[in-house]
A = this chain, B = another copy of it.
């Protein structure tokens, strides 16, 4: 018996039947003697439909009004879910972000939660009510509605779990949990029972798309026990926690692929101090996120710098570089948006130098060329041709998971 926060995404509440299913999961948890706070996203495509409506009226609408508009999506799904729970005979109350005390900064469209004032939720829990809270939204100090941006509902759930000192935060989704690789494309992908926050963070950042990294960071910071599981099967999913028990031999917990990368190479840069600083501070000022960076010696007192950015940022990068060409003196720019980043992640990697070599071996065996390499304490990423990406993941996965590990 304890306090459990349960989060349900848009697919889990897409229609009346699925809302009834979510209501069943919540009431079963409640009837086992737990206090339950459920955080819901908007139904299925609601948010996209609202964005389309807004675009018809004003493609450059202010973020404040976009937030006021979009926040209705979760209010609808939460009220409907509360009604479904009423029909199952349990006491319940739905609360919007402002009612639930979710206070954010004033950055409309991508607000950060500053504080959760749990008074109202606690009062409802004390009255033995199930509490349904709108995900993805809060209220700023001016009393305006804000939304949290991508992955916002996961973040709402973890923030509420932290503020309420919940025993567990369950993230219900449309997959069974966190896998060693994407089970839709990699044969033999295995469900992980446990994973550390840090590994999950690398996987979230690397495009595993199970949990948004903001929510994992928050869970790590407040030591919130997370579980990722399916709202359709009811089976146990993956626990995300600080330290996990794991067999000594298994150094890699997952393999992720990110097909949204492009590589830019600046060839023949004049070799003078501060050149890298100039380039990357200029890109940072424009809000462009640079991922892998690689610098190599060129010929005749020049050097080359290569880096990757999201495909969506490519045009902005090109224009920033062209505009400032005079201050850089590079020879030419080489752009390749036909690449993908494949990464292995594992907390045990740091003490096992053989892991990276094994990854390269798998790619060599599959005859896949590596364009760039980047490593951190718990991951190794390589850039390969986009059309080789799936085969790369499969061959690496086969190497680490489908046969006995023997290093």
Contact A57 B19 (CB under 8 A): yes
Query: Given the complex of chains A and B, what is the CA–CA distance between A144 and B96 in angstroms?
Result: 10
Contact B94 A80 (CB under 8 A): no
Instruction: Tell me how far the C-beta of A243 lies from the nearest C-beta in chain B, rounded to whole angstroms.
Output: 41
Counting every copy of the chain, the complex holds: 2
Query: Given the complex of chains A and B, what is the CA–CA distance between A284 and B56 in angstroms?
Result: 50
Interface residues on A, range: 35 or more
B residues less than 8 Å from A57 (CB atoms):
16, 19-20, 80, 83-84, 87
Chain A positions within 8 Å of B, measured between CB atoms, are 16, 19-20, 50, 53-54, 56-58, 60-62, 64-66, 68-69, 71-72, 75-76, 78-80, 82-84, 86-87, 93-94, 96, 98-99, 120, 143-145
Query: Given the complex of chains A and B, what is the CA–CA distance between A83 and B82 in angstroms?
Result: 31
B residues less than 8 Å from A98 (CB atoms):
98
Known contacts A16-B53, A68-B94, A143-B120; A58 and B78 CB within 8 A of each other: no
B residues less than 8 Å from A80 (CB atoms):
53-54, 57, 69
Contact B78 A68 (CB under 8 A): yes
13 A-B contact pairs sorted by A residue (CB < 8 Å):
A16-B57, A54-B80, A57-B80, A60-B87, A61-B87, A64-B93, A68-B94, A69-B76, A69-B80, A71-B75, A72-B76, A96-B145, A120-B143
| CB nearest neighbor in B for A53 | B80
Instruction: Tell me how far the C-beta of A253 lies from the nearest C-beta in chain B, rounded to whole angstroms.
Output: 40
